[in-house]
Amino acid sequence: MGKTILAAVVMMAMGASVGFAAPGAGAPAMGGPGARAGRGGARAAPATLGAAMRDMGATYKRIKAEYADAAKLETTLTDLSTMERDIAVSKMNLPDNVKAMTGDAQVKATKEYRSMMHNLLKNFVDLEQAVTDGKKDDAKKNIEEIDKIMDAGHKEFRPNE
């Protein structure tokens, strides 16, 4: 087991994608960017804001369709982790309209964008906890709040959408 973890750490340090399976679950499936590695498997991390946003849109649709189904708990938790990762990728990039700004306007918009993404991430972490705990009403409230944050973010940072 220790050698497996060491090998995984070395591979990740080299930039390789690594998947883990529960004991007895068989070999982890691996796929290219955008590929789902089996039922509920993780995909390679997107490299750009546009790719992260596209992946987030597809992942969020799945989450909304599956979060209340206890039989899909593991798939939902994997999708939530993927969403959280993609939000982190998005926080490291700026929307084109913010990049086009200069001076104080850019500083202010950057702060607003990162704050909004932080709030979005926080709500997804709360959603993950509600799903894990089987609290469907709390999860539904998180979904409603996430929808509001996403709508406001798209209006402000993707005005031509």
pTM: 0.71
Residue 25 pLDDT grade (very low, low, confident, very high; cuts 50, 70, 90): very low
Mean pLDDT of the chain: 80
Q: How far is the first Cα of the chain from the last one, in angstroms, to the nearest whole number?
A: 48
Measured in whole angstroms, the distance separating CA 104 from the mean position of its chain's CA atoms is 30
What pLDDT, on a 0 to 100 scale, did the predictor assign at position 44?
A: 86
Instruction: For tokens 């202010």, name the residue.
Output: 108
The tens digit of pLDDT for each residue in 100-149 reads 999 999 999 999 999 999 999 999 999 999 999 999 999 999 999 999 99
Mean pLDDT of 26-42: 41
The tens digit of pLDDT for each residue in 82-104 reads 999 999 999 999 999 999 999 99
Mean pLDDT of 27-44: 45
Residue 34, pLDDT > 60, answer: no
Mean pLDDT of 62-70: 95
